[in-house]
Amino acid sequence: MKISIIGTTGYGGVELLRILHHHPVFKIQSIHSTKDEVPIWHEYPHLYQVLGKQLEKIDVEEISLNSDLVFLATPSGVSSKLAAQFLHHNIRVIDLSGDLRLKEPGEYEAWYKKTGADQSIVEEAVYGLSEWNEKQIEKARFIANPGCYATAVLLGLAPVAKEKLIVPDSIIIDGKSGTSGAGKSLSKASLFAEVNENFKIYKVNEHQHTPEIEQQLLEWDENIEPITFSTHLLPMTRGIMTTIYVKLRAQSSTEQLVDLYKEAYKGKPFVRVRPHGNYPAVKEVQGSNYCDIGLNVDERTGRLTIVSVIDNLMKGAAGQAVQNANILNRLNPATGLEMLPLYP
Amino acid sequence: MKISIIGTTGYGGVELLRILHHHPVFKIQSIHSTKDEVPIWHEYPHLYQVLGKQLEKIDVEEISLNSDLVFLATPSGVSSKLAAQFLHHNIRVIDLSGDLRLKEPGEYEAWYKKTGADQSIVEEAVYGLSEWNEKQIEKARFIANPGCYATAVLLGLAPVAKEKLIVPDSIIIDGKSGTSGAGKSLSKASLFAEVNENFKIYKVNEHQHTPEIEQQLLEWDENIEPITFSTHLLPMTRGIMTTIYVKLRAQSSTEQLVDLYKEAYKGKPFVRVRPHGNYPAVKEVQGSNYCDIGLNVDERTGRLTIVSVIDNLMKGAAGQAVQNANILNRLNPATGLEMLPLYP
Amino acid sequence: MKISIIGTTGYGGVELLRILHHHPVFKIQSIHSTKDEVPIWHEYPHLYQVLGKQLEKIDVEEISLNSDLVFLATPSGVSSKLAAQFLHHNIRVIDLSGDLRLKEPGEYEAWYKKTGADQSIVEEAVYGLSEWNEKQIEKARFIANPGCYATAVLLGLAPVAKEKLIVPDSIIIDGKSGTSGAGKSLSKASLFAEVNENFKIYKVNEHQHTPEIEQQLLEWDENIEPITFSTHLLPMTRGIMTTIYVKLRAQSSTEQLVDLYKEAYKGKPFVRVRPHGNYPAVKEVQGSNYCDIGLNVDERTGRLTIVSVIDNLMKGAAGQAVQNANILNRLNPATGLEMLPLYP
Amino acid sequence: MKISIIGTTGYGGVELLRILHHHPVFKIQSIHSTKDEVPIWHEYPHLYQVLGKQLEKIDVEEISLNSDLVFLATPSGVSSKLAAQFLHHNIRVIDLSGDLRLKEPGEYEAWYKKTGADQSIVEEAVYGLSEWNEKQIEKARFIANPGCYATAVLLGLAPVAKEKLIVPDSIIIDGKSGTSGAGKSLSKASLFAEVNENFKIYKVNEHQHTPEIEQQLLEWDENIEPITFSTHLLPMTRGIMTTIYVKLRAQSSTEQLVDLYKEAYKGKPFVRVRPHGNYPAVKEVQGSNYCDIGLNVDERTGRLTIVSVIDNLMKGAAGQAVQNANILNRLNPATGLEMLPLYP
């Protein structure tokens, strides 16, 4: 099974390399970027003498001839153009950007402030939330890999959303992410001296993962109303925590909810529901494909607090992308993804 | 004006030293701790050749004879005992612990899991939220300095609470703090290797500042219902951000709320209400006594997001304590507290 | 091949678990500590639902009956006692502490300020510097796994030391380490608030790895004189860099030295000698078993600068221990150790 | 005394603002940059409602008319051009860049790879190492403020260099700096995700402060030979440590050297020589103008280790610049510079 990666020099791309280098079935066929055609270790010296591959230009024709599957680790706005080109070749694509996720015409333009992909491609694309959309992913030609925040939020909300337990207008999501999510593009806001010993809120009520979260929630419960969702930048490199506050339609205890979640994620090795009184920390999933979830019902208010953590480059990007590639190829979803978190 | 500090070797105590060393009116008379009687620079080498003072044992009698004002930078459970002793001497006390804050009998025991102070002392103590309780602080004998989270939350909510604009059961507070708030006590959870590149939630729905926040909110609006409040540990040393979500009784625009807040904090130099579209980051107050506030009304949900940041050791502890001491002594509240944030 | 780990709850122990969990030949038979007999995930929640093993008491008899190989990830002073007990059973031991490294009587006591192991055990122990002592390691019963700093230094100096190119009294080593090297023991100096945004020197001219480095250097070049070696604490978790300054007996160019080093480490996959002008950063080996080396001859002074980086928990502890276990069992030394660095 | 600052939006410039805002004698007259003419708080929100000043274009004529003293916080290559223009007006200049430091023709070009300033300006400029060149600084028209590393190194070496105690070819300097020294210019190497949890060496044997250090050392001891000097990037924002290794001509004890240093820095409040066995950490000077020095003679090798720490933006840039401005104006050198370190 030959794999090509486009957009290899970003953090999502290099994480794909880390996973695929050891994957027992997938083989890295070629790696591409718009940068100079140099060995990848020039860009990433940690791959010196390990990965000899040369970065190549993006030639859709040639890539299609030589590969069985393409990962697009390209930025929003670029992926849609490449996806359209791959449409004409019989090749499957997993896109890590937000370009193919939003079905509703106009939503992409409204939230991303860019021109969206052709509606035909968007319609064909399957939303790759691995644990919940496995059946569609198996048959997909285009997979829209979920956003990092969206993954943490949706895995955190799925069990109560699917059971229609949520008071529809009560969802509040307080998201926090490490800086690797912002990628390697140069901006003052990403400088070490600006991020270190600092903590900031950004995209207040306007994060582009909002419509993607709502779209999936509405598939589970058509009554869900607009969510409140803000995001913060953590002074760390990898990891996302979303703290989610919801009101439940009926009174439940923490124990009951832990049971519900454990049942919902039975047989899903990457979602670990913590027992009552135990909450996941971001470091406990770093470098791994796990999504860990903790739950607490406040007896004073009846409100449910859901804590969901992932490594934004793994379950939030490259890890889930490979998980989807596994599903697409009828492999065990965990193939090549069983690395433990790096702790400490 | 002679000042004594008890509990000098904690981070709150040493921050008091930083402020008082340059205060134009207050003079550090003596510093105390339960540790060895050594020069303070043995414990804090950054004070070498600057602050020659020796740590002394805690002798309430002698301290009362020699000082005009005492700061208790001691832990919860210790302060209440010391306060009781100072009651018998005609000396004013500012307590940075949580021991004198909760008026309702049983509340302290319920949230702190310790025996509380004598009710008589608690009743006499004035809650030292400088910007809002100035009149009572001026006349106080005991000042219960507010908790760090409580300060950020209450300054963030005061204008809408006092105007009774909040839907009573809608308050959700997502708090994040640097580690200096946990002090210098040794625990595995405070080790660098456990905090660095990590982010964790703690005291889910059971933080001891909850009743203190509710007590003050109820003074402003007796309809307020129990709040949802959880706290997280940031991989940084100094600073708190609270992101607060509330529903308003009437539809308001961000601009209207910014105006309301600017009006409410007119003449209060330490509270800086940011203009629409601008949100404070924690580093923007580090090392200073500012509390910066940003506001956003989400047009999709009508919900108000309030972002409030402080330096937990300054406005959240030692800074507000000195501000209260200034008020108590009819000085300009900003005396000795005008240091700018250290940036970057 | 059944493995037992003693001292599992330290950072070295848990890193052994991360490696051995995926090792194709070694199987974790049992894990031991002096703590409570609870599932390991109670201590390390990142292992929840992954490693079901229970921590067990340290029963040398029983361990010897059930295991083929024992890793001692115990502190200095403890390992020597355990090693003596394992001597009476026919079982091989790899000790990660400093207890079995120093051959010269009195050296251990002088540098560790503790009573050393029985001389008979020390004499039998083989110093497990994998790349250079492979022949002896293959036949060892006791392996003294090298210290983290010592590994970085010795791999950095070996090619010039073995060629007797070093001016004997000219070796100066400036070491820097992340905090995980200090382990999980509680001390004020390891608190996040004390390490973060800080950088300190420690054990100035008295680090206990000094005699271990000199002992090995003298085996390579009996003229070597005492080294100058100081260590610093980096505000990060994992990684060591040693910057080594030496004078060479004969003038050489950087290119010549790069060639010498590349030749010396031919066929040694874990030592990567960087080309001229390229220097390794600590993050480029994090989470991996690599030791990366950069070289520069200053034309103005003739002095050689050697930069050597490792992950202190991998090549500096657990990684090299498993590498030695592989050698001991005549496996490819890289078996189970090929994980790439986690970047970024 | 009216002050103008050119290059206000860099980290050196904004640190000048922090100091001068509270200076009892100097008043900020105008602030300048090549950026948009907006209020400074647009660039630095931590100055919101504190410093109302507007950034202005750089008009040398007008600045000269309105100011008594100009600080150039501009990059190398820019300062030399501005200095030449200020030459024609009767106004004193303190330049924080490296442009005016190197007296030897060709040195600047060789190390900075840029065209240098006019030799006449360079010759007139006084090297502003405050503690040692006070007499010349008092009479200077142009002050070349020392480099950050150079300051730490020279204050660390001065007492032994001036006494001609150093073996001339034995000086090795291992420098480590936080990232604020690199300023706010955008580069991949300064991104948080590249610096955090990382440690790298840079400018191996080619740092541009090398000739500046040697030039001053040669003034103190004309026998000094080229130094070995390499620099490393710390994952922190503020602070420099230089660990300096030298051989002494005659055997001395640590105690004797501590005495020599204490004597040398008598009456110099910003240099704090630590007692035997005590070494400064970077955090112990953060935010302050101190340079703290620790000393150790290794009895095994006779080599002296000198540890010197500063805050690179204070004593290494803006702090020393204001100290020089104080000297120039016959004020107490410590005027406006007595802020304590921010700890923790």
What is the 8-class DSSP label of residue C267?
T
Residues 6+ apart with CB under 8 A from D306: D156, D157, D160, D242, D243, D244, D245, D246, D293, D294, D295
Question: Poorest-confidence range of B9-18, B170-179, D87-96, D213-222?
Answer: D87-96
Using omega within 30 degrees of 0 as the cis cutoff, is the peptide bond preceding A275 cis? no
Which residue in chain A is spatially nearest to D179 when comparing CA positions? Answer: A193
Query: Closest by alpha carbon to D257, among D129, D170, D158, D174?
Result: D158
Closest CA to D154 of D53, D252, D103, D224: D224
Question: How high is the pLDDT of residue D136?
Answer: 98
Residue D174 is nearest to which of C198, C202, C243, comparing CB atoms? C243
Residue B103 is predicted with a pLDDT of 97
Q: Which residue of A has its CA nearest to B295?
A: A204
- Average the pLDDT over C181-196 and give the result: 95
**What was the pLDDT predicted at C88?**
84
Neighbours of D269 (CB within 10 A): 16
CATH 3.30.360.10 occupies which residues in chain C? Answer: 149-312
Q: How many CB atoms lie within 10 A of CB A231?
A: 24
Q: Is D193's CB within 8 Å of C282's CB?
A: no
**How many B-D residue pairs are in contact by the CB < 8 A criterion?**
78
Which residues on chain C are in Cβ contact (under 8 Å) with A343? 14, 18, 44, 46
Q: Which residues contact D152 (CB under 8 A, 6 or more apart)?
A: D175, D240, D241, D242, D291, D308, D309, D310, D315, D316
CB contact under 8 A, A236 and D190: no
Per-residue b or e along B219-248, where b marks 16 or more CB atoms closer than 10 Å to that residue's CB: ebbeebebbbbbbbbbbbbbbbbbbbbbbb
User: Which residues of chain B does C180 touch, with a Cβ-Cβ cutoff of 8 Å?
Assistant: 193
Chains that touch C (3 or more CB pairs under 8 A): A, B, D
Query: At C124, is the pLDDT very low, low, confident or very high (cuts 50, 70, 90)?
Result: very high
pLDDT at A90 over 90: no
pLDDT at A87 over 90: no
| Set of chain C residues whose Cβ sits within 8 Å of the Cβ of B197 | 237
Closest residue to A341, CB basis, from C46, C285, C286: C46
Concerning whether D291 is annotated as a catalytic residue, the answer is no
Q: Is the pLDDT at C101 greater than 90, yes or no?
A: yes
The pLDDT of residue C35: 85
Give the residues of chain D that fall short of pLDDT 70: none
Chain D residue closest to A236 (CA)?
Answer: D196
**pLDDT at B35 (0 to 100):** 85
pLDDT-based confidence at residue C90 (cuts at 50, 70, 90): confident
Report yes or no: B5 and B94 within 8 Å, Cβ to Cβ: no
Nearest residue to B82 (alpha-carbon basis) of B118, B107, B108: B118
Given a contact cutoff of 8 angstroms between Cβ atoms, the answer to whether B157 and B246 are in contact is yes
Spatial distance between the Cα atoms of B208 and B100, rounded to a whole number of angstroms:
13
Chain A: closest CA distance from residue D178 (Å) = 9
User: Which chains lie within 8 Å of chain A at 3 or more CB pairs, if any?
Assistant: B, C, D
Phi and psi angles of residue B143, each rounded to the nearest 5 degrees, phi first: -115, 125
Q: Phi and psi for A27 in degrees, rounded to 5?
A: -120, 135
- Residues C257, C262, C264, C265, CA torsion sign: positive
Residues C94 and C325: beta-carbon distance below 8 Å:
yes
Q: Which residues of A touch C310 (CB under 8 A)?
A: none
What residues of B act catalytically? 148
Residues C269-314: pLDDT tens digits?
999 999 999 999 999 999 999 999 999 999 999 999 999 999 999 9
Nearest to B193 among C11, C188, C194 (CB): C11
Q: How far is CA C8 from the centre of its chain?
A: 17
Q: Are D205 and D143 in contact (CB under 8 A)?
A: no
How many CB atoms neighbour CB A73 within 10 A? 30
- All residues of chain A having their beta carbon less than 8 Å from the beta carbon of residue B172 are 172, 245, 303
C141: tokens are 């019963």
Is A237 within 8 Å of C280 when comparing Cβ atoms? Answer: no
pLDDT of residue B87: 81
Question: What is the per-residue pLDDT across A264-316, written as a single tens digit (0 to 9) for each?
Answer: 999 999 999 999 999 999 999 999 999 999 999 999 999 999 999 999 999 99
Encoded tokens for B147: 């908790």
Q: Which residues of A are catalytic?
A: 148
Distance CA C79, CA C83 (A): 6
- For residue range C223-239, what is the model confidence (pLDDT) as tens digits? 999 999 999 999 999 99
What is the reported pLDDT for D88? 83
* Alpha-carbon gap, residue C183 to A234, rounded angstroms: 25
Using alpha carbons only, give the angle C207, C212, C217 rounded to the nearest 5 degrees: 120
CA nearest to D179 within chain B:
B344
DSSP A248: B
Share of chain B above pLDDT 70, in %: 100
Q: Which of D14, D55, D60, D148 is catalytic?
A: D148
Q: What's the token pair of residue B24? A: 């134009």
Residues of chain A with CATH 3.40.50.720: 2-124
Q: What is the DSSP string of C36-86?
A: -S-BHHHH-GGGTTT--PBEE---HHHHHHH-SEEEE-PPTTTHHHHHHHH
Q: Torsion-angle region of residue A165: left (phi > 0), alpha (psi -120 to 50) or beta?
A: alpha
- The reply to whether residue B46 touches residue D341, judged by beta carbons under 8 angstroms, is yes
Residue of C200, C206, C208 to mutate for D, most D C-beta atoms under 10 A: C200
Q: Say if residues C171 and D194 touch (Cβ distance below 8 Å).
A: no
Which residue out of C15, C19, C46 would a mutagenesis test of the A interface target, given it has the greatest number of A Cβ atoms within 10 Å? C46
Q: Which residue of D has its CA nearest to C276?
A: D204
Question: Are the beta carbons of B283 and D46 separated by less than 8 Å?
Answer: yes
Contact residues on chain B for D17, CB-CB shorter than 8 A: 340
Angle of CA points A293, B282, B221, to nearest 5°: 80
Which CATH class name applies to A2-124?
Answer: alpha beta
Contact D281 B340 (CB under 8 A): no
With contact defined as beta carbons under 8 Å apart, do B89 and B60 qualify?
A: yes
Neighbours of C60 (CB within 10 A): 18
Label the pairing between strands A69-72 and A55-56. unpaired
B237 and C184 within 8 Å at the Cβ level: the answer is no
B192: which chain C residues are within 8 Å (Cβ-Cβ)? 179, 190-192, 194-196, 235, 237
Average pLDDT over residues B128-144: 97
Name the pTM for this structure.
Answer: 0.98
Nearest Cα neighbor of D290 from D260, D318, D310 is D310
| Confidence label for A35 from pLDDT (cuts 50, 70 and 90) | confident
* Cβ contact C282:C241 at 8 Å: yes
- Judged against a pLDDT cut of 90, whether residue C316 lies above it is answered with yes
Which value does ipTM take for this structure? 0.97
Task: Report the gap between the CA of B67 and the closest CA in chain D (Å).
Answer: 24
Residue contact D343–B238, C-beta within 8 A: no
Interface of D with C (CB under 8 A): 169, 172, 174, 176, 193-194, 196-202, 204-205, 225-228, 230, 232, 234-239, 241, 243, 245, 279, 281-283, 286, 294, 296, 298, 300-301, 303, 305, 307, 344
Calculate the average pLDDT of chain B.
97
User: How distant, in Å, are the alpha carbons of A27, A49, A51, C96, D179 from that of A39?
Assistant: 18, 10, 9, 37, 29
D→A interface, C-beta within 8 Å? 11, 178-180, 184, 186-188, 190-197, 235-237
**B49 contact residues in D (CB cutoff 8 A):** 269, 272
- Domain C149-312 classification at class level: alpha beta
**A contact set with C (CB within 8 A):** 11, 14, 17-18, 21-22, 44-50, 180, 196-197, 237-238, 269, 272, 274, 278, 280-281, 283-288, 292, 338-344
Strand partners, A244: A173, A306
Of B178, B184, B197, the CB nearest to C191: B184
Overall average pLDDT of the C93-119 stretch = 96
Judged on CB neighbours under 10 Å (0-12, 13-18, 19+), A169 is: middle
d(CA C83, CA C119): 12
Angle at the Cα of B182 (from B180 to B186), degrees rounded to 5?
105
Judge whether C54 and C87 are in contact, CB under 8 Å: no
CB C108 within 8 A of CB C287: no
Residue C112, pLDDT above cutoff 90: yes
**Mean of the per-residue pLDDT values for chain C?**
97
- Which of B107, B169, B206, B228 to mutate to test binding with chain A, by most A CBs within 10 Å of its CB? B228
Radius of gyration of chain C (CA): 20
Asked whether residue B88 carries a pLDDT value surpassing 90, the answer given is no
- Taking the C-alpha atoms of residue C6 and residue C95, their distance in angstroms, rounded to an integer, is 10
Helix (H) or strand (E) holding A308: strand A303-310
Closest by CA position to C78, among listed C178, C150, C183:
C183
Peptide bond between residue D344 and the one before it cis (omega within 30 degrees of 0): yes
Q: Whole-angstrom Cα distance, residue B46 to residue D298?
A: 25
Q: Collect all residues of chain B within an 8 Å Cβ-Cβ radius of residue D44.
A: 343
For position B313, what pLDDT does the model report?
A: 98
Catalytic residue among C148, C258, C260, C285: C148
Position B156, amino acid: G
Q: Which of C44, C188, C190, C191 to mutate to test the interface with B (most CBs of B within 10 A)?
A: C191
DSSP D173-211: EEEEE-GGGGTT---GGGBHHHHTT--EEESTTT-TTHH
